[in-house]
């Protein structure tokens, strides 16, 4: 009997062999981070991996007009979110086991008319995406990822700033010598949203034919863009270009126990969910991996969790089982068990005052069960049912998953939300369960390798139970 419950550092419980497993897992995760810095890149990675494991597209399954247990299906939602299904032995209406994360991360987007010139500099206007501390995004190497559609409908993909030989891009900050006024401002006002302009050129265009042109630096950049990608200024209107940190995922610490990278939120849980479902082969209940877009801006839009995408996929699969009806769809969703696989706050000894030290998550103490998120008296949260918390806890205990509990900050300190409440609307049992992240939403976030590994092992066990 354990009268007291103590959450321990997960590294302590690992054998030497398991430590190696954690390191191997982390190396693969770092590759995913470096490959997938946007939701579109993550979707490509996830589908490519799924195909290696025998997944076929939902369209192909519909064309085959049949489905059987053990079937593996992926549903691509406009190249920006994706769902994986491993069909179980039981009918869908018995419920599914779902691990749902998101693959969009806070970043800086280009505006539709971004290019301008000022003081002989060519710059891009931006609009930030998700919750960022604006001052963190200045004076650091930035890369540019995304797509544009040309007038003829052709798609152009851009990814520049990641290779060592690539140029990077830059948002300036004011020199300290002249920052008397700026330094007196509140942290939230020192750098403004409209001040996040991206420096992309400084060399005027040459040639007799341009001698009467104004804005020669802007023109030169547009000429280079045309030579590189065949694009014109108007094409930025029909584009999604994302500015992200240019740095790579790196080990942290003499013991290499941690990883710093852009986009742990929420690629750390998405990657764990991906590995978990791909390694499972057969199952009682249908297993689902959700990799959603738009979580950082409220899960709206047709690639976000609030869209009917997931529901429509399940409807298609029920139809393939035979005898579709609405009741079966409702039952499939209501009878499901879901881990909302998203990151949570971690105790940061530099800022101990924002958490309740008895209820917050700690680095390396394992995967975090967050019963509720929300703000100001649990406002807007999905407060998981005790019965379901008990189920998840038992699955973890039976499978030697090191877990801990967490809270998104102490009472009345702030808060946040995830996709948990959306899936709960269907009647499904849902709990937030993911990895603790330090410096969440900063250009470089930090996680513990053993927490990443426990998330993967935990998700895998959950899907199988």
* Least gap, CB of 419 to Mn ion (angstroms): 9
- If residue 398 lies in a helix (H) or strand (E), which one and from where to where? helix 386-398
Give the residue ranges of DSSP H helices in 94-215.
Answer: 180-184
* Least gap, CB of 39 to Mn ion (angstroms): 12
* Least gap, CB of 134 to Mn ion (angstroms): 16
Among 104, 242, 266, 316, binds Mn ion (CB under 5 A): 266
Strand order in the sheet with 155-160: 155-160, 142-149, 239-245, 107-118, 121-129, 198-201, 170-171
| Closest C-alpha to 443, from 154, 161, 178, 142 | 142
Q: Which region, judged by CB under 5 A, interacts with Mn ion, from 207-215, 250-258, 336-344, 367-375?
A: 336-344
Q: Which residues inside 24-83 make contact with Mn ion, applying CB under 5 A?
A: none
Long-range contacts for 282-285 (Cβ within 8 Å, ≥24 apart)? Answer: 282/69, 282/70, 282/86, 282/88, 282/89, 283/86, 283/88, 283/89, 283/97, 283/463, 283/464, 284/88, 284/89, 284/90, 285/88, 285/90, 285/94, 285/95, 285/96, 285/97
List % helix, strand, coil for the chain (3-state, nearest 5): 35, 25, 40
- Token code pair at residue 406: 């967490």
CA distance 357 to 361: 8
* Least gap, CB of 182 to Mn ion (angstroms): 27
Q: Which region, judged by CB under 5 A, interacts with Mn ion, from 148-156, 286-294, 303-311, 340-348?
A: 340-348
Task: Work out whether 342 is an interface residue with Mn ion (CB under 5 A).
Answer: yes
* Least gap, CB of 130 to Mn ion (angstroms): 6
Q: Which region, judged by CB under 5 A, interacts with Mn ion, from 83-91, 188-196, 260-268, 347-355?
A: 260-268
Q: What is the DSSP letter of 424?
A: H
Q: Which region, judged by CB under 5 A, interacts with Mn ion, from 115-123, 238-246, 257-265, 333-341?
A: 257-265
| Closest C-alpha to 72, from 315, 317, 268 | 317
Query: Of all residues in this chain, which one has the CB nearest to Mn ion in the complex?
Result: 266
Task: Work out whether 265 is an interface residue with Mn ion (CB under 5 A).
Answer: yes
> Under rule CB under 5 A, how many of the chain's residues touch Mn ion?
3
Query: Cα angle at 394 between 388 and 398, to 5 degrees?
Result: 155
* Least gap, CB of 267 to Mn ion (angstroms): 9
* Least gap, CB of 441 to Mn ion (angstroms): 6
Q: Give the bridge partners for 147, in sequence order.
A: 157, 240
- What's the burial of 377, exposed, middle or buried (CB within 10 Å: 0-12/13-18/19+)? exposed
Beta carbon nearer to Mn ion, 117 or 451: 451
Beta carbon nearer to Mn ion, 41 or 342: 342
Task: Work out whether 316 is an interface residue with Mn ion (CB under 5 A).
Answer: no
Beta carbon nearer to Mn ion, 331 or 441: 441
- Token code pair at residue 161: 């700033």
* Least gap, CB of 243 to Mn ion (angstroms): 17
Q: How far is CA 69 from the centre of its chain?
A: 30
Q: Which region, judged by CB under 5 A, interacts with Mn ion, from 46-54, 177-185, 192-200, 341-349?
A: 341-349
Q: What is the DSSP letter of 210?
A: G
Give the residue ranges of DSSP H helices in 170-325.
Answer: 180-184, 216-229, 264-279, 309-321
Beta carbon nearer to Mn ion, 293 or 342: 342
Q: Which region, judged by CB under 5 A, interacts with Mn ion, from 43-51, 247-255, 342-350, 361-369?
A: 342-350
* Least gap, CB of 301 to Mn ion (angstroms): 16
Beta carbon nearer to Mn ion, 235 or 265: 265
Task: Work out whether 104 is an interface residue with Mn ion (CB under 5 A).
Answer: no
Q: Which region, judged by CB under 5 A, interacts with Mn ion, from 165-173, 255-263, 338-346, 394-402?
A: 338-346
* Least gap, CB of 439 to Mn ion (angstroms): 12
Note whether 422 and 98 are within 8 A (CB).
Answer: no
Task: Work out whether 432 is an interface residue with Mn ion (CB under 5 A).
Answer: no
Beta carbon nearer to Mn ion, 117 or 342: 342
Note whether 291 and 102 are within 8 A (CB).
Answer: yes
Residues that bind Mn ion (CB under 5 A): 265-266, 342
């Amino acid at each position: 009997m354990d009268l007291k419950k103590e959450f321990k550092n997960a590294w302590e419980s690992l054998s030497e062999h398991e430590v190696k497993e954690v390191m191997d897992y982390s190396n693969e995760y770092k590759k995913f981070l470096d490959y997938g810095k946007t939701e579109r890149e993550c979707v490509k990675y996830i589908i490519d991996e799924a195909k290696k494991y025998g997944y076929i597209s939902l369209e192909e399954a519909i064309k085959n007009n049949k489905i059987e247990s053990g079937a593996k299906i992926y549903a691509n939602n406009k190249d920006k979110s994706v769902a994986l299904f491993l069909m179980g032995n039981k009918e869908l209406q018995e419920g599914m086991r779902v691990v749902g994360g998101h693959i969009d991360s806070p970043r800086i987007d280009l505006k539709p008319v971004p290019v301008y010139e000022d003081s002989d500099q060519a710059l891009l206007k931006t609009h930030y995406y998700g919750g960022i501390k604006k001052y963190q995004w200045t004076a650091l190497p930035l890369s540019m990822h995304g797509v544009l559609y040309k007038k003829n409908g052709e798609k152009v993909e851009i990814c520049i700033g990641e290779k060592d030989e690539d140029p990077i891009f830059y948002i300036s900050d004011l020199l300290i010598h002249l920052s008397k006024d700026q330094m007196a401002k509140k942290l939230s006002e020192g750098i403004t949203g409209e001040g996040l302009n991206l420096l992309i050129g400084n060399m005027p265009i040459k040639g007799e034919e341009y001698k009467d042109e104004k804005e020669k630096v802007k023109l030169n950049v547009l000429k280079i863009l045309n030579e590189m990608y065949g694009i014109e200024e108007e094409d930025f209107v029909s584009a999604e270009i994302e500015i992200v940190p240019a740095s790579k995922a790196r080990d942290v610490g003499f013991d290499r126990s941690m990883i710093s990278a852009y986009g742990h939120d929420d690629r750390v849980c998405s990657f764990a969910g991906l590995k978990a479902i791909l390694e499972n082969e057969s199952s009682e209940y249908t297993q689902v991996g959700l990799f959603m877009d738009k979580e950082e801006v409220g899960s709206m839009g047709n690639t976000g969790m609030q869209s009917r995408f997931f529901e429509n996929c399940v409807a298609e699969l029920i139809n393939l089982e035979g005898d579709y009806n609405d009741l079966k769809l409702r039952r499939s969703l209501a009878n499901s068990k879901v881990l909302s696989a998203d990151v949570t706050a971690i105790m940061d000894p530099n800022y101990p005052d924002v958490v309740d030290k008895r209820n917050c998550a700690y680095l390396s103490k394992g995967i975090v069960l967050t019963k509720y998120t929300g703000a100001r008296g649990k406002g807007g949260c999905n407060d998981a049912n005790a019965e379901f918390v008990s189920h998840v806890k038992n699955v973890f205990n039976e499978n030697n998953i090191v877990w801990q509990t967490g809270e998104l900050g102490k009472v009345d300190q702030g808060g946040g939300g995830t996709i948990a409440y959306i899936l709960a609307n269907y009647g499904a049992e849902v709990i937030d369960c993911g990895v603790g992240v330090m410096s969440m939403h900063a250009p470089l976030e930090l996680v513990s390798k053993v927490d990443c590994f426990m998330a993967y092992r935990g998700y895998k066990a959950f899907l199988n139970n």
